[in-house]
Amino acid sequence: MGRSQFYRKIKALTNYSPVELMRRLRLKQARHLLTTTEKNISEIAYEVGGSSPAYFSKCYREAFNETPTELRERLAAK
């Protein structure tokens, strides 16, 4: 299967490009780790394949409308 055909197939099946799909899966895993572990945000960012904690936080905010720090603070308040 060629690159273009792969791209079209993934887009048709998931409604996301392969890059967007991988990013969403990584951010979902990061959200799970943020809520279930005590690891710091930098460790989680690198664990899920982020290139830097700052870029990870930016992508996380775009996906979930809150930063990882805000999520942790909200969970701590409960």
Q: What is the DSSP letter of 12?
A: H
Handedness of CA 54, 48, 37, 78 (dihedral sign): positive
Say yes or no to pLDDT of 23 above 80.
Answer: yes
Per residue in 28-66, pLDDT tens? 999 999 999 989 999 999 999 988 999 999 999 999 999
- Render 15-50 in DSSP notation, one character per residue: SS-HHHHHHHHHHHHHHHHHHH----HHHHHHHTT-
- Which percentage of the chain shows pLDDT scores above 90? 83
- Amino acid 39 reads K
- Amino acid 18 reads P
Q: Give the separation between CA 34 and CA 39, rounded to whole angstroms.
A: 7
Residue 26 contacts residue 50 (beta carbons within 8 Å): yes
Domains contained in the chain, CATH given: 18-77 (1.10.10.60)
